[in-house]
Copies of this chain bind each other. A is one copy, B any other.
Amino acid sequence: MEGQLAHIGAGIAGLGTGIAALGVGNVAANYLAGALRNPSAAASQTATLFIGIAFAEALGIFSFLIALLLMFAV
């Protein structure tokens, strides 16, 4: 059973990857809600949209990285 428990850990980290998608979706959802209420201001906030998505996505990718490390590096 050496190393087997690490695979359960990798799966749980994959769960974290999926939950991070909620955060990314939340950023994009609120941008869209605001941009369609006030389209003329939308272009000025595109940079902020990508900043918000990038930071949330980064945490999801960290989760993914943990899963990869648990599977192949430890």
- Measured CB to CB, the residues of A under 8 A from B are 1-39, 41-42, 44-46, 48-49, 51-53, 55-74
Contact = CB atoms under 8 A, between A and B. Distances in A.
Grouping DSSP codes into helix (H, G, I), strand (E, B) and loop, the A interface class, with mixed when no group exceeds half, is helix
Contacts of A30: 28-30, 32-33
Q: Copy number in this complex?
A: 5
Nearest to A52: B28
A27 B53 CA distance: 11
A6 B57 CA distance: 25
Contacts of A67: 11, 13-14, 66
A24 B7 CA distance: 27
A65 B56 CA distance: 17
